[in-house]
Amino acid sequence: MNLWRNIKGTFQPFWVTLRYLFKRPVTISYPEQKRTPPPRYRARMILTRDPEGEERCVACHLCSAACPVDCISMQAAERENGRRHAAWFRINFARCIYCGLCAEACPTLAIQMSPEYELSNRDPLKLVWEKEDLLVDHGGKDPDYNFYHHSGIGVVAPRGGNDDELPPVNIKTNLP
Partner 1 sequence: MTDLLLTGLLILIKLGMVLAVLLTMAAYLVLAERKILARMQRRYGPNRVGFGGMMQPLADLIKLLTKEDFLPAQADKWLFLLAPGLAAVTALLAFAVVPFGPPLELFGRQIPMVVCDLNVGILYFFGLSSLAVYGVALGGWASGSKYSLLGALRAMGQMLSYELAMGLSIIPVILMARSFSLTEIVEAQASLPFALTNPLAFGIFFIAALAESKRTPFDLPEAENELVAGFHTEYSGMRFGLFFVGEYINMVVLGAIVTSLFLGGWHGPLLPPIVWFFGKVLAVAFTFIWIRGTMPRLRYDQLMAFGWKALVPLALVNLLATGGILLWLGGAS
Interaction site with ligand SF4 (CB under 6 A): 57-63, 66-69, 71-72, 74, 91, 96-102, 105-106, 108, 110-111
HEC states along the chain?
CHHHHHHHHHHHHHHHHHHHHCCCCCCCCCCCCCCCCCCCCCCCEEECECCCCCECCCCCCHHHHHCCCCCEEEEEEECCCCCEEEEEEEEECCCCCCCCHHHHHCCCCCEEECCCCCCCCCCHHHHEECHHHHECCCCCCCCCCCHHHCCCCCCCCCCCCCCCCCCCCCHHHHCC
Q: Which does 131 bind (CB under 5 to 8 A by kind): ligand SF4, partner 1, none?
A: none
Of 28 and 166, CB closest to partner 1: 28
Binding flag, residue 1, partner 1 (CB under 8 A)? no
Binding flag, residue 35, partner 1 (CB under 8 A)? no
Binding flag, residue 13, partner 1 (CB under 8 A)? yes
Binding flag, residue 30, partner 1 (CB under 8 A)? no
Spatial distance between the Cα atoms of 79 and 77, rounded to a whole number of angstroms: 7
Among 23, 35, 122, 172, binds partner 1 (CB under 8 A): 23
| Binding site listing for [4Fe-4S] cluster | 57, 60, 63, 67, 96, 99, 102, 106
Binding flag, residue 21, partner 1 (CB under 8 A)? yes
Q: Which does 69 bind (CB under 5 to 8 A by kind): partner 1, ligand SF4, none?
A: ligand SF4
Q: Which residues bind partner 1 (CB under 8 A)?
A: 10, 13-14, 16-18, 20-27, 29
